[in-house]
A and B are shown apart, each in its own frame.
Chain A
Amino acid sequence: MGYTLVYTQVLEFFPYLIKGAWISLQIAVLAFFGGMFVGLVFATIRTFGNKISNKIVIWYVTFFTNTPQLVQIYFLFFALPEFGILLSPYVAVLVGMTLNAAAYLCEIQRAGFLSIRQNELDAAKTLNFTLVQQVKYVILPHIMKVLFPPLSNHYIIMTLGTSMAAIFGVEELTGRAFNINSETFRSVEIFSLTALVYIVITFIATFLLAIVGRYFFKAKMRIIQ
Chain B
Amino acid sequence: MERLIEEIPSFFTIWNIIFLGKAMGVTFLLTAIGCLIGFSVGGLLAIFRKTKTLFLLPLRILIILYTEIFRRVPFLVSLLLIFYVFQIVKISDNLFLIATITVCLIATAFIGEIIRSGIESINQTQWDAATAMNFSYFQTLKEIIFPQAWKVILPPAFSFFIMFIKDTALASQIGVMELTFTAKILNNKGFSPLLSFGTVLILYFILSFPLDRFGKYMEKKLVSDRN
Q: Which residues of A does B touch, CB under 8 Å?
A: 1, 3, 62-63, 65-72, 74-75, 78-79, 81-82, 160-164, 166-167, 174, 177, 187-188, 191-192, 194-195, 198-199, 202-203, 225
The verdict on A67 contacting B201 (CB below 8 Å), with A163-B76, A174-B74, A198-B72 known, is yes
CB-CB under 8 A from A177, the residues of chain B are 77
The listed residue (A79, A191, A225) touching B77 by CB distance below 8 A is A191
Q: Could you tell me if A78 and B74 are in contact, using CB atoms closer than 8 angstroms?
A: no
Nearest CB of chain A from residue B4's CB, rounded to whole Å = 8
Instruction: With a 10 A CB-CB cut-off, give which of B84, B179, B205 has the most chain A CB atoms.
Output: B84
Q: Could you tell me if A71 and B81 are in contact, using CB atoms closer than 8 angstroms?
A: no
Q: Could you tell me if A71 and B76 are in contact, using CB atoms closer than 8 angstroms?
A: no
CB-CB under 8 A from A81, the residues of chain B are 193
Q: Could you tell me if A195 and B192 are in contact, using CB atoms closer than 8 angstroms?
A: no
Q: How far is the CA of A50 from the CA of B212 in the complex (A)?
A: 25
**Interface of A: prevailing SS:** helix
**Contact digits for B169-203, partner A, Cβ 8 Å, 1 yes 0 no:** 11011000001100110010000111011101100
Q: B214 within 8 Å of A by Cβ? A: no
Nearest CB of chain A from residue B190's CB, rounded to whole Å = 12
Q: Could you tell me if B204 and A71 are in contact, using CB atoms closer than 8 angstroms?
A: yes
Instruction: With a 10 A CB-CB cut-off, give which of B75, B87, B169, B200 has the most chain A CB atoms.
Output: B169
Q: How far is the CA of A164 from the CA of B169 in the complex (A)?
A: 11
Q: How far is the CA of A62 from the CA of B77 in the complex (A)?
A: 28
Q: How far is the CA of A88 from the CA of B180 in the complex (A)?
A: 21
Total B residues in contact with A, Cβ cutoff 8 Å = 42
Q: Could you tell me if A82 and B194 are in contact, using CB atoms closer than 8 angstroms?
A: yes
Q: Could you tell me if B78 and A68 are in contact, using CB atoms closer than 8 angstroms?
A: no
Q: B219 within 8 Å of A by Cβ? A: no
Q: Could you tell me if A79 and B197 are in contact, using CB atoms closer than 8 angstroms?
A: yes
The verdict on A68 contacting B69 (CB below 8 Å), with A192-B81, A195-B81 known, is no
Name the residue of chain B whose CB is nearest to the CB of A157. Answer: B163
Q: B68 within 8 Å of A by Cβ? A: yes
Q: Could you tell me if B209 and A66 are in contact, using CB atoms closer than 8 angstroms?
A: yes
Q: Could you tell me if A198 and B193 are in contact, using CB atoms closer than 8 angstroms?
A: no
Q: How far is the CA of A225 from the CA of B76 in the complex (A)?
A: 25
Q: Could you tell me if B180 and A195 are in contact, using CB atoms closer than 8 angstroms?
A: no
Q: How far is the CA of A62 from the CA of B212 in the complex (A)?
A: 10
The listed residue (A71, A174, A195) touching B169 by CB distance below 8 A is A71
Name the residue of chain B whose CB is nearest to the CB of A177. Answer: B77
CB-CB under 8 A from B209, the residues of chain A are 62, 66
CB-CB under 8 A from A174, the residues of chain B are 74, 76-77
CB-CB under 8 A from B200, the residues of chain A are 71
CB-CB under 8 A from A187, the residues of chain B are 80, 84, 87
Q: Could you tell me if B187 and A203 are in contact, using CB atoms closer than 8 angstroms?
A: no
Q: B17 within 8 Å of A by Cβ? A: no
CB-CB under 8 A from B173, the residues of chain A are 167
- 22 CB-based A-B contacts, threshold 8 Å: A66-B166, A66-B204, A66-B208, A67-B201, A67-B204, A67-B205, A68-B165, A68-B166, A71-B179, A71-B183, A74-B184, A74-B197, A75-B194, A75-B198, A78-B197, A160-B74, A163-B75, A163-B76, A174-B77, A192-B81, A194-B77, A225-B68
